[in-house]
């Protein structure tokens, strides 16, 4: 091999730390993952920030109470308006950003490994993610998103060969399909069955032993799968939007102009915030309900992405430096996501502290912020000595079919 790592090659104007196209040809027979120098701080900071929304959503609606209880009593996380504002403005927008970033990563991987055994690497990457997701769903928590991400990515990967405009149109069609009144399978046949399930699940998860909870989690899988089917088109659409953003070099230092980015951010953020507020307070119905509650979080998510991009246009600014502290957490997002599930299970399930149903919304928020702060601090310390998070290292080693070095290389002078 002519070069030991990508940092041996000069910078290009396309992306901060992104190496010359010649590297892709010379490394075709021996691809390797991005180095720390090649990563975008803005991307990692955005991913780290989004993890807070994911954590809050999972804790408040699926650990503090059982997963399906939110459909029986939406006010369980506060008043109806507050519950809707949280669901649309925090939870839905956070998961939208997460899916968008995953799609962006798919496109980056496809471009980086093109001609370097991309098909086999992608297959190993997605099969490994699927296996991890299934284990996470069956052994830790059945609200897992990794399984869906892997399955949808299998569909999305062949589409990445299409032109960018076609990807954007397919993405729009997928979101429209998600919002359309199709006869999606129902998790329960009746409201009475749903209420019975919620009562039983609350008892088992809050008081059951580890074995009892494991068996009950397996029984819940048929009820969870329809939710994954319903959200799959939306996830695919967000993947494709992320791929389009990667091709447009949206996160590049010479991407969209600051003026156009500011305009887009203000429009999307304002429209999204107004739509979410309207859907939460005015109880719209029909098409208005679909547009405000379905598209509002997506527009708000676009505004959040644009805001982070604008802040990192001036990396010396105080907001950029503050968000930069979250970049290590974004680099270890998979590890952090899995660890959150384990910790929340210990706090809320019967085999741990059994706090399910016994802790207020405010107390749950405090727990989430404590977990998140600890993870952010640990990520900073971990990456001083290691190249990847533990889960990221295992996932990448499987992807590249070799055991990657985990520890940081110490140059000896």
pLDDT tens digits, one per residue of 127-176: 999 999 999 999 999 889 999 999 999 999 999 999 999 999 999 999 99
Q: How far apart are CA 325 and CA 372, in angstroms?
A: 13
Q: Which of 7-21, 145-159, 225-239, 323-337 has the least mean pLDDT?
A: 7-21
pLDDT over 80 at 98, yes or no = yes
Which string of DSSP letters, residue by residue, matches 5-30?
A: SGGGSPB-TTSTTPBPHHHHHHTTTS
pLDDT over 80 at 49, yes or no = yes
Residue 387 banded pLDDT, cuts 50, 70, 90: very high
Of 389 and 289, which is predicted with more confidence? 389
Phi, psi of 2 (to 5 degrees): -75, -30
Q: 91: which DSSP letter?
A: I
In contact, 112 and 192? CB cutoff 8 Å: no
Closest C-alpha among 76, 78, 72 to residue 196? 72
Closest C-alpha among 9, 7, 63 to residue 202? 63
Classify 407 as helix, strand or coil: strand
pLDDT over 80 at 388, yes or no = yes
State pLDDT tens for residues 333-362.
999 999 999 999 999 999 999 999 899 889
The structure tokens 């430096």 sit at: 321
Q: How far apart are CA 271 and CA 274, in angstroms?
A: 5
Residue ranges of alpha helices (H) inside 208-290 are 210-247, 258-281, 287-290
Cα four-point dihedral sign 273, 91, 88, 305: positive
In contact, 320 and 312? CB cutoff 8 Å: yes
Q: How far apart are CA 207 and CA 213, in angstroms?
A: 9
Residues whose CB is less than 8 angstroms from the CB of residue 123 and which lie 6 or more positions away in sequence, other chains included:
none
Q: Which of 35-49, 220-234, 261-275 has the least mean pLDDT?
A: 35-49
Determine the longest span between alpha carbons in the chain, in angstroms.
Answer: 71
Q: Which of 20-29, 78-87, 194-203 has the least mean pLDDT?
A: 20-29
Structure tokens given for 223: 């009820």
First to last CA, the chain: 25
Instruction: Please give the pLDDT value at position 322.
Output: 87
The structure tokens 């695919």 sit at: 236
Instruction: Please give the pLDDT value at position 74.
Output: 53
Of 294 and 78, which is predicted with more confidence? 294
pLDDT over 80 at 75, yes or no = no
Classify 112 as helix, strand or coil: helix
In contact, 6 and 20? CB cutoff 8 Å: no
Instruction: Please give the pLDDT value at position 2.
Output: 32
Helix %, strand %, coil % of the chain (to 5): 70, 0, 30
Q: For the chain, how many helices (H) and strands (E)? A: 18, 0
Instruction: Please give the pLDDT value at position 33.
Output: 57
Q: How far apart are CA 121 and CA 158, in angstroms?
A: 14
State pLDDT tens for residues 233-262.
999 999 999 999 999 888 776 656 778 888
Q: How far apart are CA 325 and CA 315, in angstroms?
A: 12
Q: How far apart are CA 226 and CA 231, in angstroms?
A: 9
Closest C-alpha among 285, 237, 226, 211 to residue 96? 237
Of 26 and 252, which is predicted with more confidence? 252
Q: How far apart are CA 410 and CA 213, in angstroms?
A: 45
């Amino acid at each position: 091999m002519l070069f030991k790592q990508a940092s041996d090659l000069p910078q290009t104007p396309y992306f901060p730390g992104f190496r010359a196209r010649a590297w892709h040809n010379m490394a075709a027979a021996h691809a390797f993952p991005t180095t720390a120098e090649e990563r975008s701080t803005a991307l990692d900071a955005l991913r780290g920030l989004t993890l807070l929304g994911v954590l809050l959503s999972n804790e408040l609606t699926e650990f503090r109470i059982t997963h399906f209880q939110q459909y029986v009593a939406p006010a369980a996380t506060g008043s109806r308006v507050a519950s809707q504002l949280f669901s649309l403005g925090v939870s839905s927008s956070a998961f939208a950003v997460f899916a968008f970033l995953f799609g962006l990563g798919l496109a980056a991987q496809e471009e980086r490994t093109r001609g370097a055994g991309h098909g086999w690497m992608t297959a190993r990457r997605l099969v490994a993610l699927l296996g991890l997701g299934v284990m996470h769903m069956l052994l830790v928590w059945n609200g897992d998103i990794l399984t869906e991400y892997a399955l949808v990515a299998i569909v999305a990967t062949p589409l990445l060969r299409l032109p960018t405009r076609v990807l954007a149109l397919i993405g729009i069609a997928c979101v429209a399909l998600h919002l359309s009144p199709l006869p999606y399978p129902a998790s329960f046949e009746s409201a009475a069955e749903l209420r019975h399930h919620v009562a039983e699940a609350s008892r088992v998860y809050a008081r059951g032993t580890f074995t009892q909870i494991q068996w009950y989690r397996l029984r819940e899988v048929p009820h969870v799968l329809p939710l994954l089917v319903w959200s799959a088109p939306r996830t695919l659409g967000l993947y494709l939007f992320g791929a389009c953003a990667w091709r447009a070099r949206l996160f590049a230092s010479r991407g969209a102009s600051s003026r156009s980015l500011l305009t887009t951010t203000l429009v999307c953020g304002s429209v999204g915030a107004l739509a979410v507020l309207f859907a939460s307070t005015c109880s719209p119905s029909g098409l208005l309900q679909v547009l405000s509650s379905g598209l509002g979080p997506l527009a708000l998510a676009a505004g959040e992405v644009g805001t982070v991009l604008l802040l990192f246009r001036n990396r010396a600014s105080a907001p950029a430096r503050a968000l930069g502290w979250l970049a290590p957490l974004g680099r270890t997002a998979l590890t952090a996501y899995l660890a959150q599930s384990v910790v929340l299970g210990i706090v809320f399930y019967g085999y741990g502290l059994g706090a399910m149903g016994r802790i207020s919304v405010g107390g749950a928020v405090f727990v989430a912020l404590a977990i998140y702060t600890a993870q952010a601090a640990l990520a900073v310390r971990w990456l001083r000595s290691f190249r990847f998070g533990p889960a990221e290292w295992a996932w990448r080693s499987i992807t590249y079919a070799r055991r990657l070095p985990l520890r940081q290389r110490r140059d000896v002078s």
